[in-house]
Structure 1
Amino acid sequence: MHVVITGGSSGIGAAIARIEAARRARISLIARRLQPLEQMRGELLAQFPSAQIRIHAADVTDTAALTTAIENCETEFGPCHRLIASAGIAVPGELMSQPLETFRAQIESNLFGTINAVRAVYPGMARRQSGQIVIISSGAGLIGIHGYTAYCASKHALVGFAEALRQEARPDGISVSICFPPDTETPQLAAEIPLRAPEALAITGLASPWSAARVAGVIVKGADRGRFAIYPGLKMALLGRFGQAIAPILRWYFDRKIAAARKNSGR
């Protein structure tokens, strides 16, 4: 099996790569920077000496570069059987304080980066009437979070995209999954936490983040079973299945927490 992973140099994408390498899949890792990709390939080969790992530096927002990267991967390792669309960025910031360029960059990376990856593998999967697309959204794709206007917009958009794509892809023999990870121990989260506003911290609470390996295990297991929506943990499952029913209560609770956080911070 050939697994193509965008955002494969770290975080959840890298953790999924470890699982697939252990299962002797052929793995293509794509990320923006070559050095982290080379390091990741070295780690995988040290742990799994017989693993087949290809790396390719490409920005998922660059349609032509990403398409070429995936074409090269398929030339060497054969058709993509499973796409893991994991690349994305998160930069906390309120709507009116965050530069529009930063807002736009998150939409471009998280939404259009995923669309670009899907469009690159879809024609081949459709011709073969076989393939799987796994989209990594976020818990922020299920609920709004203060100070994450752009990120929530991009991750909510992926839900609608995946829902419609599932309907389009099913007749072509392609299965679609979307996952909603909670806060996960990744370099991205480490960089993000210091930038969170007090209101965001009040909403997200003090719950310990999941390890990337744990989240990856849930994703791969759900994908293997062909599940459309994959929820790591009870909180995500409840939000995914009953979010609309409990939305009024959540909004009331969040408003109280935000008001208290603003008062304590002197805003």
Structure 2
Amino acid sequence: MHVIVTGGSSGIGLEVARLYAARGARLTLIARDPAKLEEARRDLLLPGDVQADIRVVATDVGCDAALSAAIAAAETDFGPCDILVAAAGVVEPEVFEKLSGSTFAEQVTTNLLGVANAVRAVYPGMKACGRGRIMIVSSGAGLIGIYGYTAYCASKSALTGFAEALAMEASGSGVGIAICFPPDTFTPQLERELEKRPPEAQALIGKASPWPAKDVARRIVRAIDRGTPRLYFGFSITGLGLFGSLVKPLVTWWYRRKPA
């Protein structure tokens, strides 16, 4: 089994890779930082292993041509991709009027186009084989607008439409399309994000404690095993996912009435 994980050098992506490594899967980890990728590869090796079926590739998921070439090379070495977990993402909180166009574009490019680029690289091969599973990692922030997160919310919410449309196209092909909406998760990225998170956002998001990355990864892999098309985490995110049209007006009402 060949599993490709974008954003596989840390956080949720690395923990997903760890679970598949324990199953003996051939792994391709894709991220931007070569040093972090090599550290992740060493972290995943079992005691005594010098070499294992773990390939690391430093590339930007936002660059379609480079990512496509990297995945093609990985499939040459490890065989067709059986499972893609598109977990690469970036977040830079800031109110819209202070958010530069380049920073806005970076989040959309990585979080939305980066997922589409990864899917584009494996989807035709999966269809040709008549099997495969794709898990798109969105965010709880993709279900509701959050103060200071215009770019992030826009990019993550767009993934829902992409996943739904692709699932319609993939119907009957043997390729399963799924999307998940993780909560705040203990990762290096969250540590950086919290330093910039506006208090107005923390008043809403901070009501729930972050999840350990291992727990999020465990639920993602279980959902892939079961063919679950949508995966929500926790009471709040599940409520938004299932009853958003009812819940969001209440959240907005509460937010506007809360003391400054």
- TM-score calculated relative to the size of structure 2: 0.96
* 1:201-241 deviation per Cα after TM superposition (whole angstroms, max 9, x unaligned): 11112432001000000100011100110112222222111
Whether the 8 Å CA contact 1:10–1:187 is kept in 2: the answer is yes
* 1:133-212 correspondence to structure 2 within 5 Å: 133-212=134-213
Q: Secondary structure at the match of 2:216?
A: helix
Tell me the distance in 1 between the aligned counterparts of 2:204 and 2:41.
37
Distance apart, 1:198 and its partner CA: 1.2
Tell me the distance in 2 between the aligned counterparts of 1:203 and 1:146.
9
Give the residue type in structure 2 aligned to 1:194: E
Q: Secondary structure at the match of 1:96?
A: helix
Corresponding residue number in structure 1 for 2:98: 97
Give the residue type in structure 2 aligned to 1:216: A
Cα RMSD of the aligned pairs, angstroms, is: 1.3
Distance apart, 1:74 and its partner CA: 0.4
Corresponding residue number in structure 1 for 2:122: 121
Tell me the distance in 2 between the aligned counterparts of 1:77 and 1:189.
32
Distance 1:112 1:48, change over 3 A: farther
Give the residue type in structure 2 aligned to 1:126: K
Whether the 8 Å CA contact 2:177–2:229 is kept in 1: the answer is yes
* 1:108-151 deviation per Cα after TM superposition (whole angstroms, max 9, x unaligned): 00000000000000110111111111000000011111100000
Distance 1:48 1:233, change over 3 A: farther
* Unpaired runs of at least 5, structure 2: none
Whether the 8 Å CA contact 2:142–2:153 is kept in 1: the answer is yes
Distance apart, 1:48 and its partner CA: 8.2
Q: Does the alignment pair 1:38 with 2:35? A: no
* 1:213-232 correspondence to structure 2 within 5 Å: 213-232=214-233
Tell me the distance in 2 between the aligned counterparts of 1:74 and 1:66.
12
Whether the 8 Å CA contact 1:21–1:48 is kept in 2: the answer is no
Tell me the distance in 2 between the aligned counterparts of 1:114 and 1:48.
35
Whether the 8 Å CA contact 1:21–1:51 is kept in 2: the answer is no
Tell me the distance in 2 between the aligned counterparts of 1:24 and 1:244.
43
Distance apart, 1:244 and its partner CA: 1.3
* 1:222-261 correspondence to structure 2 within 5 Å: 222-257=223-258, 260=259
Corresponding residue number in structure 2 for 1:78: 79
Tell me the distance in 2 between the aligned counterparts of 1:198 and 1:245.
25
Tell me the distance in 2 between the aligned counterparts of 1:138 and 1:157.
11
Distance apart, 1:256 and its partner CA: 2.5
Q: Secondary structure at the match of 1:19?
A: helix
* 1:42-81 correspondence to structure 2 within 5 Å: 42-46=42-46, 49=49, 51-81=52-82
Query: Sequence identity of aligned pairs in percent?
Result: 53
Corresponding residue number in structure 1 for 2:11: 11
Q: Secondary structure at the match of 1:178?
A: strand
Tell me the distance in 1 between the aligned counterparts of 2:241 and 2:54.
34
Distance apart, 1:47 and its partner CA: 5.0
Corresponding residue number in structure 1 for 2:132: 131
Q: Does the alignment pair 1:87 with 2:61? A: no
Distance 1:241 1:209, change over 3 A: same
Distance apart, 1:100 and its partner CA: 1.0
Tell me the distance in 2 between the aligned counterparts of 1:239 and 1:130.
31
Give the residue type in structure 1 aligned to 2:78: F
Whether the 8 Å CA contact 1:85–1:134 is kept in 2: the answer is yes
Give the residue type in structure 1 aligned to 2:95: E
Tell me the distance in 2 between the aligned counterparts of 1:256 and 1:70.
50
Q: Secondary structure at the match of 1:79?
A: coil
Tell me the distance in 1 between the aligned counterparts of 2:48 and 2:3.
16
* Unpaired runs of at least 5, structure 1: none
